[in-house]
Amino acid sequence: MKKIMMTLAVCAVLAAIFSSAGCAGNETFEAKHFSSGEAAVSSLTVDATDREIEISPSQDGQIHIEYSESASQYYEIGLSEQGELTMTLKKDRAWTDLIEVKPDEAYRKIKISLPDGVISDLSIKTTNEAIRLSPLSVRGGIRLDVNGGDLIFDALGVGERLELTAKDGDIVGSVRGGWDDFSISCNTKKGECNLPERKEGGEKSLQVNCNNGDIDISFVAVA
C-alpha cells in the first residue's frame, strides 16, 4: 500500500509539472518597441537567454529595439545618468516550472537598430540562438558572447577592441581594417581556425575564444 501511495504521489507531482509547462508554452506575448529618442547613449549592454539577436544600422541616429515579452518573460531596460543603456531578460518561474517551454520562434528575437560610429561600447550576450550583425562600428569596443549558437557579422569596426566568444557554435565574419591593425589572441577547441594563436602588434586588439566550433574571420579595407 505504501508503494502504491508513493507512486500516486509521484504521478501527481509530474502531472502538475507538465500541466504548468503547458501553460507556460501558451503564454501571451506582446510586441514592444524601445527608442532612445534624444537621450545621449554611450554604451549598450544586452543580456538574454534563448533569444536570437539581430543588429543593424539605424537610419535616424537613434537606438531602436524591437522585442516581445509576456508576464513571466520580460525585459528590464534602463538608462543611467552616464548614458549606459542596458537590456536584461528576466524570467519569473514558480517551483513547479522544472521544465521550461520555449516561446514560439517569432517571440524569441530581439532586433536592434544602432547608429553607426556613435556609441563607445557594445556588449551582447545570449544562449541557444545566433547573434547577427550587419556592417557597423563603435568608437571603443564590441563584446559578443553566445553559448549554443553562432556569431555571424560583416564589416565590424572598432576603435580599440573586439572580443568574441562562442561555445557549441561557429564564429564567422569580417572586421574593418588590415591585418597589421590588430594584435590577435585566439583560443579554439574542437574546431578549425584561420587565425594564429598569437600575433603581436597593432593598435587594436582582437580576442577570439571558440569551444566546439569553427573560426573564420577576414579583414576588409575601410572605404
Every domain of the chain and the residues it spans: 1-129, 134-223
Phi, psi of 184 (to 5 degrees): -125, 135
Cell reading at 196: 594564429
**Lowest mean pLDDT segment, chosen from 92-96, 111-115, 122-126, 210-214:** 92-96
Q: Kindly report the average pLDDT of the chain as a whole number.
A: 88
Residue 153 buriedness (CB in 10 A; 0-12 / 13-18 / 19+)? buried
Check pLDDT > 70 for residue 89: yes
Question: What is the C-alpha to C-alpha distance for residues 153 and 165, in angstroms, rounded to an integer?
Answer: 13
Question: What is the C-alpha to C-alpha distance for residues 199 and 2, in angstroms, rounded to an integer?
Answer: 68
Dihedral of the CA atoms 53, 175, 167, 95 (nearest 10)?
-20
Given a contact cutoff of 8 angstroms between Cβ atoms, the answer to whether 104 and 52 are in contact is no
Check pLDDT > 60 for residue 157: yes
Given a contact cutoff of 8 angstroms between Cβ atoms, the answer to whether 21 and 97 are in contact is yes
Query: In 103-181, where do the E strands start and end?
Result: 109-114, 121-127, 131-133, 136-137, 141-147, 151-157, 161-167, 171-176
Q: Which long-range contacts (CB under 8 A, 24 or more apart) does 190-196 make?
A: 191/215, 192/216, 194/218
First-residue to last-residue Cα distance in the chain: 80
Decide: helix, strand or coil at residue 144.
strand
Phi, psi of 25 (to 5 degrees): -70, -20
In this prediction, residues 51-65 reach a mean pLDDT of: 97
H or E stretch covering 30: strand 30-35
Considering the entire predicted model, what is its pTM?
0.85
Each residue's pLDDT tens digit, 107-133: 999 999 999 999 999 999 999 999 999
Given a contact cutoff of 8 angstroms between Cβ atoms, the answer to whether 102 and 122 are in contact is no
Question: What is the C-alpha to C-alpha distance for residues 66 and 70, in angstroms, rounded to an integer?
Answer: 14
**Lowest mean pLDDT segment, chosen from 48-52, 76-80, 94-98, 115-119:** 94-98
